[in-house]
Chains A and B, each alone.
Chain A
Amino acid sequence: MIAAMGDDSGRIAPRPPQRVMRLARMGAAHQTRLSFMRILLRRMMRDNWRFERPVFDIGADGVGHAVYTAYGPERCYSLVAFAHDLPDEARSDRVIAEAWDATFTLFDGLPDDADIERLRANVPLQEAGRITQSELSLSRANRSTRLFAHVVERLSQGLQPDAEMVAAVGYLMRTTAVYGSGKFGAADRECIARRAEFSAPFQVEMLSVYLTRCFVMDLVEHLARARAPQSAVRMDPAIKRSFSIGNSTGLGMAPFLVNHPRLLNNWIAAREEALARVRNLPQATEAEVAVFRAVLRRAIENAGLWTSQHPLQIEKLDALRGDLSRLSAHATPERLAQKRPWDALYRWAEDHLGFEGQEQLVALLLEPYGDLVDDLGETMSADEEECFAINGAMPVGRLKQILGDVYDWAGQIDWSSRAANARAWYVSQEKLEPRLGERFDEPIEDYEQPLAPGRDAARLSAALSGWDDDRPVAEFLLASPEHRHIVRRAQIAARFRYAEIRDNTIDHAMLPIDMLRCKLAFFGAGRFDPRSDRWVRINMFAGAPFPEELADWTDEAWAYGAEQ
């Protein structure tokens, strides 16, 4: 813990992984300046991206296709959208669904007619179709039945949508999956990773969702006009901006964090370094304090509007609101005029606020300091190939030491207990969907995925106990190939301190939504609304400027909602 106190120069170090990489805290993560949606919007504004809609061929029945093209400094990308006529009873957000209200792909460049026909034969099928290296993503979305109908109805009558209904749902369509990185035939990330616009993680997926939001807003206005050409009106820009794209995220995302340890490290390390930089500032200017307090006010508003039916989230929201009100009372301009004000505030929060409040504060502390922290966005990608090779020359003694350092928590768990082993992650035959089952109640153990690093580290530790410290890891692995996976992880975790979640991912009380929330917060999502312990609804791009607003847009903190 010495590292957490600061090094010889008196610099406050980033928070230690033992504190940061716990599921309860990861499950309280909030979007920050370094979230991928915000990185994308900053780039599009800075580089003056231009947007066109070369095709909008959609009938009065809402069926047809449209193309939205985003022009960056060197290349352009087109969202190809197919709108369908889906009966209400066929609408499902599950991965096992087979039809959707709209389906999409992000095309690399500008598609010609032949491309569109090829895509029309495949994109609406989603997983059952095939796309090519010309496509960068594959996604689909379903309408929020109630709100979609209401908005079309009101606009067609010359009226704006009811503010309360808009606030209650927040989106007109929710994506139920956004696939990138070589899935279903799409281009591999390696094909585009060197392009500046895609150097940060998940920029393809975020661009696709951003353009999807444009499409959905155009679609409702189009349907209102088709219904009543004489009376229909366009949506008020401020109301329009309040709409997000919803997203329904299930278990499929949770294993991602475990399967990409170095990437997870880079995300967390960027945020923690940003926090450390701000905490180390000797003082804050009045202008910086004003920005912080203004964003805090918006976070309070946002927490007030954030609703959920789930008991766990209701509890968390109460805690967040209480924390924010204490924070607001404590973070006075007088206190923030003192030396190292942000560090003092953060340390106060650790003593007086819960995880929700502490992690919201982390996000808020970065807001006044774009110049100081935004460059860290460039460090959030990862070359996973580089850390694949196992260091076979490492002495067994060093590996034992790593297990003690990184997986000490796992050594304290009684792995012979049913509670500690209660769950198993597996992939279902049907639709190849990742699932979490009850190990002792279901016939799934033979199919278990390697998603329990804590247990595997404990097993490795036991297997190593008879081995001489001086012998190389290569000899151990030749004798015990079943430990190869966890040895690789341990060596990665030794080099990248935030690579490993320091909690039992198969415990009976583990909440997959904690893993989902951490990942989705890095995307930039808000208003997390869990529908069970293993799937969550979120909002994406709520408050974001539309393409026609980007040129004059100055509000960097759009993700906290409109300024009141």
Chain B
Amino acid sequence: MSLSLNEVESLSRKAARGAGLSWGMAEEAGRAVRWLEAGGIGGADALASVLLRHDDKSLRAPGLSEIRGQGGAGDLPLCPIATGAALSDFGLGENTLTLDAVFAPILLAGPLARVAGRMGAELEALCKGGALCLSPEGMAICGDVSPWLEGAAIVEIRRLTGDVPGAPNARRTRAHPAPAVLDILNGFAARTYAPATEASRLAGAGAGPSDND
């Protein structure tokens, strides 16, 4: 199905909230997915697998020392939404930041592009043999980043020292998530909807039984 980017963002935000993320964090999820889909990468797929892990409580948020590059780790993989939000909030220092086991690390791309924009610099994220170059202009991909959409892996983030490897991804204006992905996201989103009652149907929206003149 062809979705507008507004639709995929809004669905992602609701789904993230339905999976138990705070509203502010759910907004980050929506934005991260939109950013990826606009770059032609299946951000909605990645979010669906993240939310399923959230449902199992098998992801965690990063600690202060981890985000500052001072080590520390936990038993569970890092949630890419919480990690992306923390990277966006804290920014990056001069040294390479190594994060142990980030789940679906592709979702870090949007927040890192934001950090790159703020620094006016190019950043490089390395994982599973692929690399993403994130600049204020967008994202360039080196190698295969498809494994970044699922599973957990170590991610290294640093300033890019050489040239930007290739042109940024072409921007897309639509998203095409697979039906199974939409089902997962719609399922989580449905948890944010209150079951209707006849009372709420009338009182909640405020209309009387007849609208005719």
**Inside 8 A of A444's CB, which chain B residues have their CB?**
194, 200
Closest Cβ–Cβ distance, residue A506 to chain B (whole Å)? 14
Q: Flag if A94 contacts B211 (CB, 8 Å).
A: yes
Known: A389-B114, A442-B199. A182 touches B7 (CB 8 A): yes
Whether B164 is near chain A, meaning CB under 8 Å from some CB there, is: no
The interface on chain A, measured as residues whose beta carbon lies within 8 A of the other chain's beta carbons, has a size of 70
Q: Flag if B88 contacts A447 (CB, 8 Å).
A: no
Residue among A191, A393, A477 facing the most chain B CB atoms (10 A cut-off): A477
Q: Flag if A487 contacts B193 (CB, 8 Å).
A: no
Q: Flag if A429 contacts B195 (CB, 8 Å).
A: yes
Residue among B64, B208, B212 facing the most chain A CB atoms (10 A cut-off): B212
Whether B24 is near chain A, meaning CB under 8 Å from some CB there, is: yes
Q: Flag if B212 contacts A392 (CB, 8 Å).
A: no
Whether B204 is near chain A, meaning CB under 8 Å from some CB there, is: yes
**Inside 8 A of B6's CB, which chain A residues have their CB?**
181-183, 188-189
When C-beta atoms are compared, the residue in chain B nearest to A429 turns out to be B193
When C-beta atoms are compared, the residue in chain B nearest to A435 turns out to be B204
Q: Flag if B88 contacts A531 (CB, 8 Å).
A: no
Whether B207 is near chain A, meaning CB under 8 Å from some CB there, is: yes
Closest Cβ–Cβ distance, residue A495 to chain B (whole Å)? 15
Question: Could you give, for residues 116-130 of chain B, a 1 whenever the CB lies within 8 Å of some chain A CB and a 0 otherwise?
Answer: 001000000000000
**Inside 8 A of B208's CB, which chain A residues have their CB?**
531-532
Q: Flag if B211 contacts A248 (CB, 8 Å).
A: yes
Whether A534 is near chain B, meaning CB under 8 Å from some CB there, is: yes
Q: Flag if B7 contacts A485 (CB, 8 Å).
A: no
Q: Flag if A392 contacts B91 (CB, 8 Å).
A: yes
Q: Flag if B5 contacts A447 (CB, 8 Å).
A: no
When C-beta atoms are compared, the residue in chain A nearest to B204 turns out to be A435
**Inside 8 A of B28's CB, which chain A residues have their CB?**
484
Interface residues in A100-133 by Cβ distance below 8 A to B read: 130, 132-133
Whether A371 is near chain B, meaning CB under 8 Å from some CB there, is: no
Task: Give complex CA distance A528, B201 in Å.
Answer: 24
Whether B22 is near chain A, meaning CB under 8 Å from some CB there, is: yes
Q: Flag if A190 contacts B5 (CB, 8 Å).
A: yes
Known: A185-B2, A188-B173. A477 touches B200 (CB 8 A): no
Interface residues in B152-183 by Cβ distance below 8 A to A read: 173-174
**Inside 8 A of A92's CB, which chain B residues have their CB?**
211
**Inside 8 A of A93's CB, which chain B residues have their CB?**
207, 211
Task: Give complex CA distance A95, B206 in Å.
Answer: 12
Stretch at the interface among A17-25, A140-148, A361-369, A552-560: A140-148
When C-beta atoms are compared, the residue in chain B nearest to A181 turns out to be B6
Known: A145-B212, A428-B200, A429-B193. A250 touches B5 (CB 8 A): no
The interface on chain B, measured as residues whose beta carbon lies within 8 A of the other chain's beta carbons, has a size of 50
Whether A273 is near chain B, meaning CB under 8 Å from some CB there, is: no
**Inside 8 A of B203's CB, which chain A residues have their CB?**
437
In the complex, which of the residues B89, B205, B211 contacts A91, with contact meaning CB atoms closer than 8 Å? B211
Interface residues in A249-268 by Cβ distance below 8 A to B read: 250-251
Closest Cβ–Cβ distance, residue B18 to chain A (whole Å)? 10
Whether B3 is near chain A, meaning CB under 8 Å from some CB there, is: yes
Closest Cβ–Cβ distance, residue B70 to chain A (whole Å)? 14
Q: Flag if B23 contacts A477 (CB, 8 Å).
A: no
In the complex, which of the residues A88, A142, A478, A531 contacts B86, with contact meaning CB atoms closer than 8 Å? A478
Whether B104 is near chain A, meaning CB under 8 Å from some CB there, is: no
Whether B145 is near chain A, meaning CB under 8 Å from some CB there, is: no
Question: Could you give, for residues 80-117 of chain B, a 1 whenever the CB lies within 8 Å of some chain A CB and a 0 otherwise?
Answer: 00100110111100000000000000000000001000
Task: Give complex CA distance A483, B89 in Å.
Answer: 14
In the complex, which of the residues B24, B197, B201, B212 contacts A481, with contact meaning CB atoms closer than 8 Å? B24
Whether A154 is near chain B, meaning CB under 8 Å from some CB there, is: no
Task: Give complex CA distance A444, B196 in Å.
Answer: 10
Question: Could you give, for residues 49-74 of chain B, a 1 whenever the CB lies within 8 Å of some chain A CB and a 0 otherwise?
Answer: 00000000000011110010000000
**Inside 8 A of A485's CB, which chain B residues have their CB?**
22-24, 27
**Inside 8 A of B64's CB, which chain A residues have their CB?**
475, 478
In the complex, which of the residues B22, B118, B207, B211 contacts A389, with contact meaning CB atoms closer than 8 Å? B118
**Inside 8 A of B82's CB, which chain A residues have their CB?**
481
Interface residues in A472-514 by Cβ distance below 8 A to B read: 472-475, 477-478, 481-488, 512
Question: Could you give, for residues 450-470 of chain A, a 1 whenever the CB lies within 8 Å of some chain B CB and a 0 otherwise?
Answer: 100000000000000000000
Residue among A96, A130, A189, A481 facing the most chain B CB atoms (10 A cut-off): A481
Known: A429-B193, A481-B25. A442 touches B200 (CB 8 A): yes
Q: Would you list 24 pairs from A and B whose C-beta atoms are within 8 A, ordered by A residue?
A: A93-B211, A94-B205, A95-B205, A133-B173, A188-B173, A248-B211, A251-B204, A251-B205, A392-B90, A427-B194, A428-B196, A435-B194, A435-B204, A435-B205, A442-B197, A444-B194, A446-B194, A478-B63, A478-B86, A478-B89, A481-B61, A484-B23, A484-B28, A531-B207
Q: Which 10 A-B pairs give the minimum distances between C-beta atoms? A: A484-B24, A392-B89, A182-B6, A534-B206, A435-B204, A182-B4, A474-B89, A485-B24, A93-B211, A430-B196
Using a CB–CB cutoff of 8 Å, the interface residues on chain B facing chain A are: 1-7, 21-25, 27-28, 31, 61-64, 67, 82, 85-86, 88-91, 114, 118, 173-174, 190, 192-197, 199-201, 203-208, 211-213
Using a CB–CB cutoff of 8 Å, the interface residues on chain A facing chain B are: 88, 91-96, 130, 132-133, 142, 144-147, 169, 181-183, 185-191, 248, 250-251, 388-390, 392-393, 426-430, 432-433, 435-437, 442-444, 446-447, 450, 472-475, 477-478, 481-488, 512, 531-535
